[in-house]
């Protein structure tokens, strides 16, 4: 659904950050594959998710099985406790629907078409004739290949692959196929366990596939080999690649493990390529984060001392002492917004520093994207300061100081193009808990972004919520009677805090989405330490001024709960021992 809306595919690509590294691209039978990992037609026979799959790290997509006309009986897969059960009368795609999909979808990866094993020779010829303009290869059974594929009767403008199950792939079949002049390669299906009208992959599928692949490659090292199924972990995917597989299709394992499996296999492959360590320039990025950190401490100092500065007093028309005589709660309220802003800036500074020190320095492209996306949003947020008619000169001066630092940071970041790698290859308990911990932080990041937008919107519109008015004990009309310029000053603080919160939320979100890998302890440290100042300031300032409305603070309490649960669940995965990992891959080819 998301992929179908304008900009949806870009959103999926941004959130997943699953684009494969150029180091794992390959060319097979004159077709370029951005990744050797594809998705089987068994998972999506009707091509409903083709648009989305292209953004989830797959280098090619299989559709089918294709038939000439839609069968009367088609049974969808079901699941039991441990497996996905596919019917022996599984879903099939009529030719007309396949053409409709291929002509309407914006397809950017190679498409392989699997033709149903029961089609006749004439039907196969018709299917091939109509689909050839839209696809890159065809997959037929080994029986169809040896019986039907005669140059005189079947159009062969695309590569044809013969498929067979591991238990049927013997020397006789292999010799027959390799003697066929039109063979582009073979597809080996994982062994199946059949029970009544349903089947599922056998438990030792990966081992059987590896054994078959090694045997075939020993006899025919130049033969293109594709496997289908038998992969549920990065280690299993890498084992097949290491055994000599050219391309592999994910089936049941992709559903069981989750949509991150292709990316995890990519990182596992990259880890074994023995990358050369590459350090990128990161000093200006570090300096940018340090400047924000220092700015946060300066803002915190003013928030707990004078609260308002001389130019604030000049704009309002009242001194600090005069405001205290009118209503001391007004200054307390202003202090709470400014302390919250200061705490958020300190958190942002820590996050930027960590991204620069551990991410950009290690040539990690995702860390550069996270760093600069949040920074640009932060700069745009200065416009909110004047949204209610008041420009804070100190804020303006601060951004002017930051601007040249950021310029050089952005310039040095252009060479940060590396892809991460990981040695983690199992779906163990630490990984499973880590996934839930990651979910907590992703939710935390999203909620911080949403909260920042809401606070900014309130800051440039009605300024106060009901609990604010109850705390100040004055409606906005009375505040305007004190000074017509008082509300704009309050509004600019609120809008500025909201803008800073959006930036921090984006940092937490992107670090959580893209940085979770086993043994990456700096990610855990970044999230654990980076969020503390914002939470301490957010809750502490309310306690400090006596603004302790439960309803008002409830969103913060919920965020703290997500934060603590995320830290606990992700600790074994991020901080646990690992056999080693490379932080980055030098991608000079980009």
SS (H, E, C) 219-270: HCCCCCEEEECCCCCHHHHHHHHHHCCCEEEECHHHHHHCCCHHHHHHHHHH
Checking if the pLDDT of 583 tops 50, the result is: no
Helix axes 328-354, 365-380, angle to 10 degrees: 160
Q: Check residues 172 and 97 and name the one with the higher pLDDT.
A: 97
The answer on 241 and 377 residing in a single domain is no
Residues 289 and 266 reside in one and the same domain? no
Q: What is the pLDDT of residues 440-479, one digit of tens each?
A: 999 999 999 999 999 988 887 888 889 999 999 999 899 9
Residue 397 has pLDDT above 90, yes or no: no
Predicted confidence at residue 581, as pLDDT, reads 44
Q: Are 260 and 567 in contact (CB under 8 A)?
A: no
Its domain, for residue 159, covers 29-271
Comparing C-alpha atoms, which of 7, 91, 82 is closest to residue 42? 91
| C-alpha pair distances (Å), 320 with each of 297, 330, 331, 395, 478 | 22, 10, 8, 20, 18
Phi then psi dihedrals of residue 506, to 5 deg: -65, -40
Whether 254 and 315 map to the same domain: the answer is no
pLDDT in tens, 524-543: 999 999 999 999 998 998 99
Task: With a cut of 80, say whether residue 590 has pLDDT above it.
Answer: no
Torsion angles phi and psi, residue 55, rounded to 5: -100, 0
Q: Is residue 278 part of a domain?
A: no
CATH of the domain at 104: 3.20.20.70
Do 159 and 306 have their domain in common?
A: no
User: In this structure, are 348 and 245 located in the same domain?
Assistant: no
Is residue 288's pLDDT more than 90?
yes
Q: Both 409 and 349 in a single domain?
A: yes
Give dist(CA 527, CA 511) in Å, integer. Answer: 8
Residues 259 and 348 in one domain: no
CA-closest candidate to residue 112, choices 184, 43, 63, 165: 63
Strands 137-141 and 111-115, sheet pairing: parallel
Task: Collapse the DSSP code of 76 into the 3-class scheme (helix H, G, I; strand E, B; otherwise coil) and give the result.
Answer: coil
Q: What percent of the chain has pLDDT over 90?
A: 54
Query: Is 580 part of a structural domain of the chain?
Result: no
Asked if 60 and 114 touch (Cβ cutoff 8 Å), the reply is no
Same domain, 547 and 523: yes
State which of 221, 240, 271 marks the end of a domain.
Answer: 271
HEC readout, 55-66: CCCCCEEEEEEE
Please state which of the ranges 144-148, 365-369, 475-479 shows the lowest mean pLDDT.
144-148
Note the pLDDT tens digit of each residue in 540-567.
Answer: 989 989 998 999 899 999 999 999 999 9
- Looking at residue 91, what is its pLDDT? 86
Cis peptide before 590 (omega within 30 of 0): no
Same domain? 339 vs 426: yes
In a domain, 1, yes or no: no
Mean pLDDT for all residues in the chain: 88
SS3 content of the chain, % helix, strand, coil (to 5): 55, 10, 30
Could you tell me if 358 and 431 lie in one domain?
yes
Q: Is residue 243 part of a domain?
A: yes
How many structural domains does the chain have? 2
Last residue of a domain, one of 215, 248, 271: 271
User: Which residues, at least 6 apart from 404, have a Cβ–Cβ distance to it below 8 Å?
Assistant: none
Residue 419 lies in a domain: yes
Widest CA span of the chain, in angstroms? 100
Statement to judge: residues 328 and 257 lie in one domain? no
Mean pLDDT (whole number) for 487-492: 86
Q: Is residue 306 part of a domain?
A: yes
pLDDT at 386 (0 to 100): 61
Last residue of a domain, one of 241, 271, 301: 271
Q: Do 238 and 352 belong together in one domain?
A: no
**pTM for this structure?**
0.88
Residue 51 placed within a domain: yes
Question: Does 24 map to a domain?
Answer: no
């Amino acid at each position: 659904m998301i992929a179908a809306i304008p900009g949806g595919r870009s959103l999926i690509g941004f959130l997943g950050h699953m684009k494969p590294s150029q180091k794992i691209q390959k060319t097979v039978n004159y077709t370029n594959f951005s990744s050797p990992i594809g998705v089987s037609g068994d998972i999506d026979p009707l091509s409903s998710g083709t648009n989305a799959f292209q953004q989830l790290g797959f280098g090619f997509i299989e559709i089918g099985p294709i038939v000439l006309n839609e069968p009367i009986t088609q049974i969808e897969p079901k699941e039991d406790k441990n497996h996905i059960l596919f019917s022996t009368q599984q879903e099939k795609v009529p030719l007309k629907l396949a053409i409709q999909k291929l002509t309407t979808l914006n397809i950017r990866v190679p498409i392989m078409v699997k033709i149903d094993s029961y089609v006749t020779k004439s039907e196969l010829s018709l299917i091939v004739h109509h689909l050839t303009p839209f696809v890159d290869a065809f997959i037929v059974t080994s029986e169809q290949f040896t019986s039907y594929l005669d140059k005189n009767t079947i159009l062969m403008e695309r590569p044809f692959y013969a498929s067979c199950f591991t238990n049927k792939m013997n020397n006789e079949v292999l010799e027959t196929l390799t003697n066929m002049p039109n063979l582009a390669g073979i597809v080996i299906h994982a062994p199946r366990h059949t029970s009544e009208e349903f089947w599922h992959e056998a438990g030792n599928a990966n081992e059987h596939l590896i054994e078959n692949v090694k045997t075939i490659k020993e006899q025919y090292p130049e033969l293109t080999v594709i496997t289908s199924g038998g992969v549920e972990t990065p280690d299993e995917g890498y084992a097949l690649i290491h055994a000599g597989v050219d391309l592999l299709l994910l089936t049941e394992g992709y559903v069981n493990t989750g949509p991150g499996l292709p990316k995890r296999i990519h990182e596992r492959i990259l880890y074994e390529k023995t990358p050369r360590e590459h350090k990128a320039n990161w000093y200006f990025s570090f300096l940018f984060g340090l400047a924000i950190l220092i700015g946060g401490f300066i803002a915190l100092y003013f928030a707990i001392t004078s609260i308002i500065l001389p130019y604030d007093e000049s704009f309002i028309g009242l001194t600090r002492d005069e405001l205290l005589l009118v209503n001391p709660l007004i200054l307390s309220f202003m202090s709470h917004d400014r302390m919250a802003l200061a705490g958020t800036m300190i958190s942002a500074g820590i996050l930027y520093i960590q991204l620069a020190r551990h991410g950009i320095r290690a040539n990690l492209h995702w860390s550069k994207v996270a760093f600069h996306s949040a920074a640009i949003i932060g700069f745009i947020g200065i416009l909110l300061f004047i949204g209610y008619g008041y420009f804070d000169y100190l804020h303006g001066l601060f951004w002017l100081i930051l601007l040249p630092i950021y310029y050089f940071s952005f310039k040095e970041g252009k060479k940060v193009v590396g892809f991460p790698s990981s040695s983690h290859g199992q779906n163990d308990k630490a990984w499973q808990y880590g996934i839930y911990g990651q979910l907590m932080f992703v939710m935390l990041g999203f909620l911080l972004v949403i909260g920042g937008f809401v606070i900014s919107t309130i800051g440039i519109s009605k300024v106060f919520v009901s609990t604010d008015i109850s705390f100040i004990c004055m409606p906005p009309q009375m505040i305007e009677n004190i000074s017509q310029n008082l509300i704009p000053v309050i509004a600019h603080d609120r809008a500025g805090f909201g803008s800073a919160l959006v930036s921090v939320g984006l940092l937490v979100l992107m670090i959580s989405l893209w940085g979770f890998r086993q043994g990456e302890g700096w990610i855990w440290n970044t999230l654990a330490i980076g969020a503390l100042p914002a939470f301490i300031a957010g809750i502490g300032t309310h306690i400090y001024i006596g603004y302790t409305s439960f309803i008002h603070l409830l969103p913060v309490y919920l965020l703290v709960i997500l934060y603590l649960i995320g830290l606990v669940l992700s600790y074994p995965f991020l901080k646990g021992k690992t056999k080693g990992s490379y932080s980055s891959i030098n991608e000079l080819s980009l």
